[in-house]
Structure 1
């Protein structure tokens, strides 16, 4: 009987590709909402064995690198299809317009993202040695590929392997000084180390690295238990939040023809009694989600007046809303922005934040492609010619009665180190995230989105206030504890207080330094091990 690891190592051709595909797909079970941590082992251990197979294939180094890259592509394709299948729901919202593109979204994006894991596997093979150090080679290479995925071509760090640790309250605390990519490094090392149990030559080779991985996991948990205080975080005085979750389907109902019905629904729900009997009159700040209106709120005095009539004197409403600038002298049309706007009890817009990091093909299409799409009789998702324009820089959102606000719209909250305003202004005291996940229905996508936004609270030491159209709306304290929330797919009101921010935090620069040091030490250890092996031969 050939042992399991040897079967994987000896696999060739389509069997090797199929094993890589299956192993990658298993890894998606470690992501939210499942959080099945053993799936990391079931996914990463076969990855180690598959790269072992390329190293023992007798191929030249160049051919072996290509073989490893191919395995990495199949592994990544399985991982991303299994983890991002829910993107297909967006193409069925207006099926008559977009159903044709569903395969491109469900399979095309994973196929592109898989080139990052292909690079990671090839780099790992380049650093490979037939001993325990190959775990570090794999960890270094895959972490490097994840950093590239999170930054190149506007970046897409969704379902970074670090989220396997970043969704557990105790394990996520290390993100406060290591960040998401530090968690990624640890998750890969811990998940891959059991591969040696079936391939080590001696008991020491088989068990030392897995034991260290288990000890690291226990240490992460212990640090989390130590870091999180037993008592709830204090709350900001004189701030009472009311978050409105309308659960409005992202279909034909969200249409300019239904503007009056939509506004009535928002106003009625915002004024309804909360779960503990409180009313909107008790709230100092009412918060509505992203894309709240199928029209331009700032150009609709009647709707602004209705909002002013809802608010008590001195209170404000914070809402997502598209806005349009007046056209410049050399332009025929104004520019549209995906924005957050602050409105007072007189119906006056006091301030705005414009989204910086737009969703490619969801909120904008490169102008040449946009022209080609329209020439073919098709259109993009947003009903705006040319899509939205990005803001040039992240700025704080001024909100009366609130401490400085770091505003984020939709998936801006998934980018580590990019949620704080730029410049030398005062440090924000909360992260505000308004979003609309109604495009994705009752799938795993909204859970993954919330988990990533929650991790930003731990990284930055700031509370998270999140208003989502269909959920998950929540208030999270700076340790990642959920103070209160509304589940996915329900209509409701959330009345809550604002937790205070942590004073002593690690800056994004500190987290970047910690990650750089971790990767540098790993690379130096690999270089030393390679030199030792060369000397002993």
Structure 2
């Protein structure tokens, strides 16, 4: 063993060791996360950062450069699907997509250089309390580093369902603090010295002091997490809702390689989706309260009948008719996604036309209710950082973000005697006006009333905790609905990671999540953060999944109300404490020079 440690110390002096550190952190972060869920590896994943920070302590420009290399390595391993997205979503050539993947690691992996520089600076200048320094620097880097696809060290630890419960109070950044505290403690603990420690009272005392903070912190997280878990496990829901999620696997392009016309492609898709809903309802033997279709489930079209939408050819009466038919045939609310449009200025010039990504609710009578416009836009798909990039990728849309944080509402309808109306299926909508369809179903319609609000999120919005918190001023939702389209990423790990990152919103809000995706993975998350077993769909498949979700009636929790208050308090206390130590050191040096 001593021989191995000697060779390892010699290896640390080489550039190959630096590459080993990049791979160490990238690989262990990747396998700690979805879809592998080997969460226990998160505690050693930061070792690569610690090795580099100690090897190049005080060489800040080297640490900045190496930090960006850590970001590139992590993105190339864990977020390799960005390459696939850039080719399919942004229509870039292979080599350009690869360059974009590496640039993503540089631009959105800023957390790595932030940690290396801040940790090295404080450890070098202060020279003590490094356990706390490691935790504070790791957490601060998570909070301050901008990310395109936000993930945090705490997400890697949240695979432990007990630890995950604590995000109700500390948010995900609190878990990031814990990760770096425990990881640093393990990093500095040499297992070969255990026997020596046990034999020496002085060393036992030192070892106990070194482990006191990490042990106490881990114990607090486990105790709080356990108490919260059993508190919410035993809560009684106020009611339940029958929710049908439809995953249609809609095509991303209506240009067909098999020679079918665009009309044939979309006709077959709509007919298949209609049949999917019909089969799911017949199999269940009951009507759902809510039918949920995903983002881009009916691509490139709108169900909003307005002069502009008709002029630009985006309003499709048959799309509108099918949504009205779904609502009336099954006496259900229908939540679906569409494209909306408006002129940015009063001028009607094409250059001022902007698009919006909309979630829309139709009540059980097929009446269009509220709509929510997506605010957190996806780069290279809905928007570009620079104007000239639209010319490089004409496929990218010019979307504008919405501005409203209003919750959407679903409705209940009074029971009515059944009639023998022949249902208007997709095939029968040909040549029919949407108003005709609504009038046709008039004998089925009954009085509806507002049943409650829910929180609508589109695509990546669900993975940004600070963004989702902004809905708290609009009321207390009964559940969270996330409509997304991950088909651009193929069969990569992106959909698993996307689902996992959004899971913590269920715990923060103590609300169930309904996730409807175009091509997978669709499913449900309960208020404890559990994925409902057997209800998650596959990738690149057309499926439906049905679940009776629970409505939890509880006031907003600590994180929803106060956000990252606790992490910010920790950062401020750290800054004040260590700032004071640095000031004392400067005064001491000044006094020594004066003497």
Q: Could you say which TM-score interval applies, normalised by the shorter chain?
A: 0.7 to 0.9
Gaps of 5+ in 2: 198-202, 304-314, 413-450
Q: 1:40 to 1:194 in 2, by over 3 A?
A: same
Q: How does 1:421-432 map to 2 (within 5 A)?
A: 421-422=470-471, 424-432=473-481
Equivalent residue of 1:428, what SS?
A: coil
Query: How far apart are the structure 2 equivalents of 1:198 and 1:525?
Result: 29
Q: Return closer, same or farther for 1:148/1:156 CA change in 2, 3 Å cut-off.
A: farther
1:158-201 Cα deviation digits (max 9, x unpaired): 33111122232211000000001111111121222211113999
CA contact 2:39–2:160 (8 Å) conserved in 1: no
Secondary structure (helix, strand or coil) at the match of 1:224 reads helix
Contact 1:244–1:288 (Cα < 8 Å) also in 2: yes
Q: Does 1:103 align with 2:98?
A: yes
2: CA distance, partners of 1:9 / 1:174? 42
The CA deviation at 1:451 is 1.0
Residue 296 of structure 1 is matched in structure 2 by: 301
Corresponding residue of 1:500: 551
For the structure 1 residues 54 and 367, does the alpha-carbon distance in structure 2 shift closer, same or farther, using more than 3 Å as the test? closer
Pairing of 1:70-85 with structure 2 (within 5 A): 70-85=65-80
Q: Structure 1 stretches of 5 or more lacking a match?
A: 56-60
Name the CA distance, whole Å, in 2 between partners of 1:309 and 1:248: 20
How many angstroms apart in 1 are the aligned matches of 2:174 and 2:473? 26
Q: Residue 21 of structure 1 corresponds to which residue in structure 2?
A: 22
SS of 1:398's partner is strand
Distance 2:274 2:121 in 1: 60
Contact 1:196 1:210 (C-alpha < 8 Å) held by counterparts: no
- Deviations, residues 285-306 of structure 1 (Å, cap 9, x unaligned): 1000111112322211122112
**1:35-73 per-position Cα deviation (integer Å, ceiling 9, x unaligned):** 323433433234223222223xxxxx5xx2223223323
Structure 1 residues 357 and 9, CA gap change in structure 2 (3 angstroms) = farther
Shift of 1:498: 2.7
Q: What is the rounded CA distance, in whole Å, between the counterparts of 2:342 and 2:319 in structure 1? A: 19
Change in CA separation of 1:91 and 1:76 when aligned onto 2, cut-off 3 Å: closer
* C-alpha contact 2:236 2:552 (8 A) present in aligned 1: no
- Tell me which residue corresponds to 1:278: 284
SS at match of 1:446: helix
Paired residues, number: 516
Quote the residue 1:220 is aligned against.
221
Q: Paired residue for 2:374? A: 355
d(CA) in 2 for partners of 1:436, 1:239: 24
Contact 1:337 1:388 in 2 (8 A): yes
Deviation at 1:410, TM superposition (A): 0.3
The two structures have a TM-score, normalised by structure 1, of: 0.85
Q: Write the distance in 2 (CA, Å) between the matches of 1:171 and 1:227.
A: 10
State whether residues 353 and 407 of structure 1, in contact with CA within 8 Å, keep that contact through their aligned partners in structure 2.
yes
CA contact (8 A) 1:403 1:430 kept: no
Confirm or deny: 8 A CA contact 1:28 1:80 kept in the other structure. Answer: no
Aligned equivalent of 2:341: 324
- The aligned residue for residue 182 of structure 1 is 174
1:452 is matched with which residue? Answer: 501
- Decide whether aligned partners of structure 1 residues 81 and 447 sit closer, same or farther in structure 2, where only a CA change above 3 A counts: same
CA distance in 2, matches of 1:307, 1:506: 38
Establish whether residue 124 from structure 1 lines up as the match of residue 119 from structure 2.
Answer: yes
The Cα of 1:365 is off from its aligned counterpart by: 1.4
3-state SS in 2 of match to 1:508 = helix
Larger radius of gyration: 2
CA contact (8 A) 2:333 2:361 kept: yes
TM-score, normalised to structure 2, is: 0.77
- Provide the residue aligned with 2:387 in structure 1: 368
Residue 325 of structure 1 aligns to a residue whose secondary structure is strand
Contact 2:287 2:330 in 1 (8 A): no
Q: Which moves more between the two structures, 208-217 or 359-368?
A: 208-217
- In structure 2, the residue matched to 1:467 is 516
| Matches of 2:65 and 2:9, distance apart in 1 | 15
Deviations 1:207-238 (A, max 9, x none): 65456535544543343332223856544537
Contact 1:72 1:119 in 2 (8 A): yes
Partner of residue 441, structure 2: none
Q: Is the 8 A contact 2:89 2:488 kept in 1?
A: no
Please name the residue that 1:58 is paired with. Answer: none
Deviation, 1:98, is 4.2
Equivalences for residues 480-499 of structure 1 within 5 A: 480-483=529-532, 485-489=535-539, 490-499=541-550
Say if 1:4 and 1:27 are closer, same or farther in 2 by CA, change over 3 A: farther
- In 2, distance between residues paired with 1:464 and 1:510? 21
Deviations 1:260-299 (A, max 9, x none): 122112111111136x9315x5112100011111232221
**1:141 counterpart (132, 137, 140):** 137
Q: What secondary structure, in the 3-state scheme, does the structure 2 residue paired with 1:351 have?
A: strand
1:406-458: CA deviations, max 9, x gaps?
Answer: 11100001111321455743222221111111111222211111111110111
Q: 1:134 to 1:74 in 2, by over 3 A?
A: farther
